[in-house]
Amino acid sequence: MRAALLAAVGALVLGGCGGESVIADGSYAAEPSDVSAQVLTAPLRLAWRGDEVEVETGCTRIVAQAEVDEVGDAATLRLAAVESTSTCNPPDSDPDVWVEAFLRTGPTVERSEGGGFQLFDEEVSVSFHPE
């Protein structure tokens, strides 16, 4: 049931089809509205597969379970980490660690014009557009 809901929300909200809704695939430039978000300038891939979200950015790969809190013009994701691997050196000072922490806040994911997308929570709003 949850997987079907996620696939439906992915197709409806984020423009995907089938069992996987790819929100973004490729290199995107970030346009942060908050100084702390300026680390989000690395290439980012965010894909939805059933009830899993897979995130790859820089030297970090995250595979997480996802729950949709709201359905409408945007989907609010709650991620519970399943697997997180990092080759960052040192890992606690790399921007990718901040990306993982931001994703764990349960940001809203919203498709934007021009093929980009936006991630935002109460404190940070980051728009991505294809480079």
Digits of tens for pLDDT over the chain (131 positions)?
A: 434 333 333 433 444 444 445 666 666 666 655 545 444 545 566 776 767 777 777 777 888 777 666 555 566 666 666 677 777 766 555 556 666 677 777 777 777 777 777 777 777 777 777 77
Question: Which residues lie below 8 Å from residue 112, measured CB to CB, with a gap of 6+?
Answer: 118, 127, 129
Helix, strand, coil shares of the chain as percentages rounded to 5?
Answer: 25, 45, 30
Measure the CA–CA gap between 108 and 117, rounded to whole angstroms: 10
For residue 47, give both structure tokens. Answer: 């894909």
Which string of b and e fits 60-88 if b means at least 16 CB within 10 Å? bbbbbebebeeeeebbbbebeeeebebee
Give the position of tokens 């409408």.
72
pTM: 0.53
Q: What are 31-59's pLDDT values in tens digits?
A: 655 545 444 545 566 776 767 777 777 77
Domain layout of the chain by residue ranges: 2-130
For residue 5, give both structure tokens. Answer: 């809901």
Give the position of tokens 């935002």.
120
What is the sign of the dihedral through the CA atoms of 32, 81, 56 and 108?
A: negative
**CATH code for 2-130?**
2.40.128.230
